[in-house]
Amino acid sequence: MRQESLTIGELAVRSGVAPSALRYYERLGLIRAGRTGGNQRRFDRAELRRVSFIRIAQQLGVSLEDIRSALDALPDSRTPNKADWARLSATWRSRLDEKIDLLTRLRDDLSNCIGCGCLSLRSCSLYNPDDELAQQGPGPRRMLP
């Protein structure tokens, strides 16, 4: 017979996330747990998907607030299905495409810059003599859109 709920320790082992982080996620409303008569947390198995989503999104640099907004779009009354997850991923598609583009440009430009060996930086794509790009606004103007 398959166990339908997980203890915090079981969820931690299965997800690779420390119990303290799981308690923090619960406090933020990212995941939900029921309680036993002895007040021990019990997580539905579906929470494992949510924790996996949180871990991946964090690796991409997505804030916990944005993650919570995305997870809030999932149904409360049932386990999210493939269509629910597809809708969520569609809302992030352009954001992920922008991040992929930025990472690709960073990889290519930084490799060229570090590997070129120039001492003057005159041919570097990141070169900004006399800070002339400051007129366009703050930050790395050639790298960020």
- Band of residue 94 on the pLDDT scale cut at 50, 70, 90: confident
Packing angle, helices 47-59 and 64-72, rounded to 10 = 140
DSSP class of residue 126 equals: T
- Band of residue 1 on the pLDDT scale cut at 50, 70, 90: very low
Determine the pLDDT at residue 42: 95
Q: What is the pTM of this model?
A: 0.68
Q: Are 10 and 45 in contact (CB under 8 A)?
A: no
For the chain, give the mean pLDDT: 82
Highest CATH level, class, for 1-80? mainly alpha
- Range from 20-29, 49-58, 88-97, 105-114 carrying the lowest mean pLDDT: 105-114
| pLDDT greater than 70 at residue 58 | yes
Cα dihedral angle (16, 43, 59, 96), rounded to 10 degrees?
140
Determine the pLDDT at residue 28: 95
Q: Quick one: average pLDDT of 71-83? A: 81
- CA neighbours closer than 13 Å in the CB half-sphere of residue 32: 12
Domain ranges, ordered by start, for the chain:
1-80, 95-145
